[in-house]
Structure 1
């Protein structure tokens, strides 16, 4: 080989054998360990001799570092800490019974994960070695361990060829996936690598395959997305992403280091270096360091050729996990009725599965909120490093015109268009829809988007994704299909596209264009109709097969819409509110099929200055809204014109989990179903869900009755003042009222009538418990006790008889007589008006 003046010289560091290295996060030092006891600390940009530390232990197989501390794992099963500057030994951090094979330090420098020939991986807090978490699912010893950049996952590469993925979002780690066939089976001391190397954006990881190709797996679907092929003719020994994710370096037993371009998976350069075991990029410079089995360290400055050096100057780039051409994996082919029936009988119960949403809490990651200027109105002044605009610079879709509500000096603020279930851009991706059916999310690839549709119930539907040249910016998802719309910035007409999940004929996808200059503000999808509200304040209603069914103009400027069965709800900006600054919101609810208006241009009950965060129908068909103050309200008596009112079901700021300021969190609304509020918990200052798809949480309704609602664990025997039962009574009354309205407007089934009787009985039981508290307090509370009895729904007299027995139990003779007298009056058909006299 001819002499190359730019080629770095090897620096003898250790005796031949395994040699490991790492940079400190600030890039000031590169540290190596090897088969001897020495630890070398090299100062970057200095050619002098490194600081040598005698570790007193031979065989350092693993290494990690923070800016202050070095961690070395050894063949004797120990992990020792050292001062990163002086090299002074700090102390023993972890002890294993078998050799340590790998360690990984979390990005925040708080935790270190230790993989060894033992079956259990230990995750230890660096500042407090007594705090340990255990990863126990491995069937054999582990060869590698890595944290994802956001600290939510740990990947463990087992010598059995299985990649284990653990979630760290809860107090105790939970195994999320066991990925078989992703990595190779390797001996613990093999030079080939099976490590899952995380892309810096945390959405994907790279692994070396037995075919000597490099595969990229996304954590959104935990499946292979892309491959870097044809780079090596020998086993791959190390992988390393450039700090911003634009480039990938790989080393192989074929004596080559290959530099790849991430976006295209093309080879940029090949370098001839033999016996390379480990690679590490400098955190900020164009420099790559690597060690060899000869015990040498190479620091290769200007590693990336000049033609590609600009790649390293880019901000953090997205992982190359975007799908190519349309990929149909939905399995939604037509099936016969007999086949569907057979599947229904064979489908196992899913109790306790993730899609049941029971007792699951989501966690979060730091994420900025961004929105795109869909109409080019020029309302965003600043761009972040992804070319997106912060939320606080967002104005209405119509630009300045929408803000000029009137020509005076004071310009009231109109509510911006709202697509329920969607999020702003976070980098180059956003959710178009998140609900109890699943999620629709998109990725901006500059020239086009890629859309992924995921379902919670994969027994009914398979996930699918496709290349999106239309750049859809709104979506709806339910059990029947997926609805999209776009608002092109090049002057092309806005498009609405519907894709059913199943049909008994050929695929019935359809697409329609809106008139020129008309933009979709919000979409809604029900079991019967598709609704779009537009910038011309039109409400456009289509059937599920694309037939235009109704078009009319809203009386107020359109903001958003929702749909359930034959009902649609539209919301628009109304007159200026009491503060003179914010426009009120007005809503209309109508039955499209019967062409009947239930509520017409009534006011949405929002506190002054509050913003609408979501609007949706509950699973039983009641309109609900969630606002920026953290309150969930439902529309009561909405089927009767002029009788509707907004009733609070939950004030999230009064949840017991937030008492005393123990937690700083907010809640992103998803749905109301099964008499629970389903949401995503956002930690700290986050305002929108993160990627990958977060877990859902659920909370019982809790009507804000008192300033300090008691915990559910309190009981009347512990001196409870009854506030818990009072809240339960008010809540039960609301739910009973909603259910009565439902069955009175439909042909009630026998099960619905039985459910109504059950709800009335539960409400009477609550009153009975409140009565017991009043009786216990003394005779002077007798009038309130009698009042509680008059509120009972008692159909057959049994609950009133029980109330008399409660009064008898506490020795309230006068109250007992009045209760029995009231019972006789009811039997005789007399009213209760004079019962309290």
Structure 2
């Protein structure tokens, strides 16, 4: 039977949209004029008209009983299909509405508009409204999954925001980046997520004019429908059973695909205008669509006769990698929504013959290991076949091959860099700015943006070398790329300012050598390589040092002025993994401060980031969320790692309601600067996240709970003072090391006595707290007085006055004696 095309002028020329009711009995269209048209399926009669006070309608979604319509004036209105009249205004937006999606039960309507937030309003009670505000730009499309528990939000920033809407407060599950194109809200091209009917995957148009499927379990890309359009996709829809796909393009094309093989079945060449919305009839071989000219087309017998078997098959699985093709004949295996096979009559028959335990549900147990090769063994808890619960099975007839044992080596990484997410990744994130790159297949495009745009101007460039590492500071930007068949590994430096015409330089590494990590300071460039070399250059390309690192393979590096810190894999620990070791040296003076010292990481933790603080002290951040700083590192053999913040003990996490982690950025102004990652994310993604900062808090004791702060405020205050004392003493030691070992400025030298006073002030407060507790705490109070660092006697005099105020006469006498002995030099630091 030939396809019969039925075109109807539904509205005034312009953008027109449609929606079928779930039972397929009615089809509703909206457009520029102030009327809504309701077509009866299978009838040639004129449609019913719902006259409305609004016009320029931009979205419609239907249930069997009512429809929800959005317009350019920002109004979202509910109309009854039983009376063909207005029911109520659900919600108003200050800017044009762009899309509306109804949950499968019709209880909730998600509204996308030119505002930055998405509204989710209850269709029965308009006072119940939720807001989604994680987007940084307006939203173009919204779509519920088949269960109504997940909402996909397609934003104009090129990202898909996945929200869980099953709870009272919606939660952001995932940002899917690099999939959909960046579009304006009024563009004819689409970026709408279309959920597959089996619920395991969704698909969306890409910037390369493909229709890409993505698994919802791990957010990984699966099969793609490619080559059907010469321009951007404007609309798409799965058939009700998921076996077929219809897509339309801005190039006035309409394509029909087979889902299982992604085969293009037919391209319809009778399209006169751009199709903006496509809907399959729920039960019949009919496809309807509207275009940008106010027209509705109802294509009966849309699927060719020789392909109708696909449409008549049971629910088919989403096209996923590594899965067998689905059957579409009458013997097709039935699938439930979650993708698991439903039992058939054949299964029941086999159970009667063989017993219910003869065949496992996943079809593995029926395999008989008749030759003892071991291929039918149960997988153990490590996912490997062989031992079960620690008991080795009998050896097979075939001799097993045993691989040589190898230690677990820490992989190399570039601090501040993120992995690819879609087609984008950050190459560098710090307090100066950020560098990010976009994969354009044949080349990359690199963008460098600064926080201080008055000092520096943003720039971007086309990158034919596909740089995979970058550093950024106030002096310049540094890049490196991996070797390829066209070029060796390259290091490229671009200064921000220069007084000569030649502004940048690059150097090529020897053949076969790759950059594994690199760092940029105010005076030098450092790169560790796959050959085990540490290469040091001046800012203008002069090679200063080349030496082989003792601990290999190299892991990462960091620099501050003339100081270079390198990290590599060292001796193997008892757990079979290598212990990381670090070396710090001054490349200008050719002095080694620390040589292959062990990096303080607990068992099972990984190194996440290495950097210097703004005052020049080495810092590390591990996978347990602990930030550490290196004390006394300028003296060989004296360095020790001090934990200055355990992010798991932050007050914002003590309630247990927040699930978040932290991406380290810098240590500056005695604070930890980071990016907060929510929803189980491990890396920051686009749009550019905001920086947060936290005050240091050394883990001297278990953090106080809310109940403790309420019931025993004095004890909590005491613990806070003790932590503050340890923290101030650490800062004093760090600044004292700086002054004693470098050409310190006057401001740095003045900071030493200032920090001494801060330490003594905290000790004085602790002493007062002990005096308040009673005479029995006098020995601890005297110990606190002895810890005071002031040599003028003023702080000890103040301590004696505090003791006198609380009438601790004996304590006051001992403090006075301590002050006298200190003044005459009878008490030294060791005795104290």
TM range (shorter): 0.5 to 0.7
Which moved further from structure 2: 526-535 or 121-130? 121-130
Quote the residue 1:768 is aligned against.
764
Unaligned residue ranges in structure 1 (runs of 5+): 137-143, 157-165, 170-197, 217-225, 229-237, 251-255, 261-267, 304-312, 317-391, 393-406
Q: Given the alignment, which residue of 401, 412, 426 partners 2:421?
A: 426
Quote the residue 1:822 is aligned against.
818
Q: How do residues 500-511 of structure 1 correspond to structure 2 at under 5 angstroms?
A: 500-511=495-506
Quote the residue 1:801 is aligned against.
797
User: Are the equivalent residues in 1 in contact too, given 2:625–2:647 (CA < 8 A)?
Assistant: yes
Quote the residue 1:548 is aligned against.
543
Q: How do residues 460-499 of structure 1 correspond to structure 2 at under 5 angstroms?
A: 460-490=455-485, 492-499=487-494
Provide Cα deviations, 1:177-236, integer angstroms capped at 9, x if missing partner. xxxxxxxxxxxxxxxxxxxxx999356223669xxx9999xxxxxxxxx999xxxxxxxx
Matched, 1:458 2:419: no
Task: Give the secondary structure class of the aligned counterpart of 1:719.
Answer: helix
User: Are the equivalent residues in 1 in contact too, given 2:78–2:88 (CA < 8 A)?
Assistant: yes
User: Are the equivalent residues in 2 in contact too, given 1:632–1:650 (CA < 8 A)?
Assistant: yes
Quote the residue 2:753 is aligned against.
757
User: Are the equivalent residues in 2 in contact too, given 1:240–1:281 (CA < 8 A)?
Assistant: no
Aligned pair in 2 of structure 1 residues 731, 9: CA closer, same or farther (>3 Å)?
Answer: same
Provide Cα deviations, 1:29-51, integer angstroms capped at 9, x if missing partner. 97534644655587xxxx67899
Q: Given the alignment, which residue of 504, 512, 521 partners 2:507?
A: 512
Q: Given the alignment, which residue of 500, 503, 528 partners 1:533?
A: 528
Q: Given the alignment, which residue of 597, 620, 624 partners 2:592?
A: 597
Q: How do residues 655-734 of structure 1 correspond to structure 2 at under 5 angstroms?
A: 655-709=650-704, 718-721=713-716, 722-734=718-730
Aligned pair in 2 of structure 1 residues 506, 15: CA closer, same or farther (>3 Å)?
Answer: closer
User: Are the equivalent residues in 2 in contact too, given 1:448–1:470 (CA < 8 A)?
Assistant: yes
Quote the residue 1:582 is aligned against.
577
User: Are the equivalent residues in 1 in contact too, given 2:29–2:38 (CA < 8 A)?
Assistant: yes
User: Are the equivalent residues in 1 in contact too, given 2:90–2:121 (CA < 8 A)?
Assistant: no
Matched, 1:625 2:603: no
Superposition deviation, residue 66 in structure 1? 8.8
User: 2: CA distance between counterparts of 1:739 and 1:288?
Assistant: 74
Aligned pair in 2 of structure 1 residues 793, 439: CA closer, same or farther (>3 Å)?
Answer: same
Q: Given the alignment, which residue of 176, 183, 207 partners 1:205?
A: 183
Quote the residue 1:353 is aligned against.
none
Query: Cα RMSD (Å) of the superposition?
Result: 5.2
User: Are the equivalent residues in 1 in contact too, given 2:532–2:548 (CA < 8 A)?
Assistant: yes
Structure number, greater radius of gyration: 2
Quote the residue 2:127 is aligned against.
130
User: 2: CA distance between counterparts of 1:749 and 1:281?
Assistant: 73
User: 1: CA distance between counterparts of 2:464 and 2:708?
Assistant: 55
Superposition deviation, residue 603 in structure 1? 0.4
User: Are the equivalent residues in 2 in contact too, given 1:73–1:80 (CA < 8 A)?
Assistant: yes
Quote the residue 2:434 is aligned against.
439
User: 1: CA distance between counterparts of 2:706 and 2:277?
Assistant: 54
User: 2: CA distance between counterparts of 1:790 and 1:604?
Assistant: 34
User: 1: CA distance between counterparts of 2:533 and 2:294?
Assistant: 74
User: 1: CA distance between counterparts of 2:156 and 2:101?
Assistant: 13
User: 2: CA distance between counterparts of 1:106 and 1:543?
Assistant: 61
User: Are the equivalent residues in 1 in contact too, given 2:15–2:276 (CA < 8 A)?
Assistant: no
Aligned pair in 2 of structure 1 residues 660, 134: CA closer, same or farther (>3 Å)?
Answer: closer
Which moved further from structure 2: 57-66 or 539-548? 57-66
User: 2: CA distance between counterparts of 1:694 and 1:595?
Assistant: 40
User: Are the equivalent residues in 2 in contact too, given 1:574–1:584 (CA < 8 A)?
Assistant: yes
Aligned pair in 2 of structure 1 residues 803, 73: CA closer, same or farther (>3 Å)?
Answer: same
Provide Cα deviations, 1:17-36, integer angstroms capped at 9, x if missing partner. 98543589999997534644
Task: Give the secondary structure class of the aligned counterpart of 1:610.
Answer: coil
Quote the residue 1:232 is aligned against.
none
Quote the residue 2:635 is aligned against.
640
User: 1: CA distance between counterparts of 2:23 and 2:475?
Assistant: 52
Superposition deviation, residue 598 in structure 1? 0.2
Provide Cα deviations, 1:108-158, integer angstroms capped at 9, x if missing partner. 997734769xx999834447743557999xxxxxxx9746899789779xx
User: 2: CA distance between counterparts of 1:832 and 1:622?
Assistant: 29
User: 1: CA distance between counterparts of 2:681 and 2:560?
Assistant: 30
User: 2: CA distance between counterparts of 1:81 and 1:17?
Assistant: 23
User: Are the equivalent residues in 2 in contact too, given 1:13–1:32 (CA < 8 A)?
Assistant: yes
User: Are the equivalent residues in 2 in contact too, given 1:123–1:132 (CA < 8 A)?
Assistant: yes
User: Are the equivalent residues in 2 in contact too, given 1:147–1:155 (CA < 8 A)?
Assistant: no
Unaligned residue ranges in structure 2 (runs of 5+): 144-150, 165-175, 192-206, 210-231, 239-244, 256-266, 305-317, 322-382, 384-401
User: 2: CA distance between counterparts of 1:717 and 1:113?
Assistant: 49
Provide Cα deviations, 1:453-504, integer angstroms capped at 9, x if missing partner. 1211111222211121111111111111111111124384211111111111
Quote the residue 1:349 is aligned against.
none
User: 1: CA distance between counterparts of 2:408 and 2:25?
Assistant: 51
User: Are the equivalent residues in 1 in contact too, given 2:78–2:90 (CA < 8 A)?
Assistant: no
User: 2: CA distance between counterparts of 1:201 and 1:243?
Assistant: 18
Q: Given the alignment, which residue of 105, 109, 112 partners 2:110?
A: 112
Quote the residue 1:736 is aligned against.
732
User: 1: CA distance between counterparts of 2:116 and 2:418?
Assistant: 39
User: 2: CA distance between counterparts of 1:37 and 1:808?
Assistant: 87
User: 1: CA distance between counterparts of 2:45 and 2:697?
Assistant: 64
User: Are the equivalent residues in 2 in contact too, given 1:80–1:89 (CA < 8 A)?
Assistant: no
Aligned pair in 2 of structure 1 residues 436, 298: CA closer, same or farther (>3 Å)?
Answer: farther
User: Are the equivalent residues in 2 in contact too, given 1:113–1:121 (CA < 8 A)?
Assistant: no
Superposition deviation, residue 827 in structure 1? 2.6
User: 2: CA distance between counterparts of 1:450 and 1:74?
Assistant: 38
Aligned pair in 2 of structure 1 residues 683, 546: CA closer, same or farther (>3 Å)?
Answer: same
Provide Cα deviations, 1:606-646, integer angstroms capped at 9, x if missing partner. 11121111111111111111111111111111011110011
User: Are the equivalent residues in 1 in contact too, given 2:19–2:29 (CA < 8 A)?
Assistant: yes
Superposition deviation, residue 555 in structure 1? 0.9
User: 1: CA distance between counterparts of 2:728 and 2:468?
Assistant: 40
Superposition deviation, residue 804 in structure 1? 2.4
User: 1: CA distance between counterparts of 2:737 and 2:99?
Assistant: 61
Matched, 1:789 2:785: yes
Matched, 1:415 2:413: no
Query: TM-score if structure 2 supplies the norm length?
Result: 0.66
User: Are the equivalent residues in 2 in contact too, given 1:582–1:609 (CA < 8 A)?
Assistant: no
User: 2: CA distance between counterparts of 1:315 and 1:457?
Assistant: 46
Provide Cα deviations, 1:362-393, integer angstroms capped at 9, x if missing partner. xxxxxxxxxxxxxxxxxxxxxxxxxxxxxx9x
Aligned pair in 2 of structure 1 residues 206, 115: CA closer, same or farther (>3 Å)?
Answer: closer
Which moved further from structure 2: 74-83 or 649-658? 74-83
User: 1: CA distance between counterparts of 2:681 and 2:509?
Assistant: 36
Task: Give the secondary structure class of the aligned counterpart of 2:715.
Answer: coil
Superposition deviation, residue 556 in structure 1? 1.2
Quote the residue 1:21 is aligned against.
18
Superposition deviation, residue 829 in structure 1? 2.7
Aligned length: 650
Provide Cα deviations, 1:747-779, integer angstroms capped at 9, x if missing partner. 222222333333222222222222222122221
User: 1: CA distance between counterparts of 2:48 and 2:511?
Assistant: 73
Task: Give the secondary structure class of the aligned counterpart of 2:492.
Answer: strand
User: Are the equivalent residues in 1 in contact too, given 2:80–2:87 (CA < 8 A)?
Assistant: no
User: Are the equivalent residues in 2 in contact too, given 1:486–1:520 (CA < 8 A)?
Assistant: yes
User: Are the equivalent residues in 2 in contact too, given 1:33–1:39 (CA < 8 A)?
Assistant: no
Task: Give the secondary structure class of the aligned counterpart of 1:10.
Answer: strand
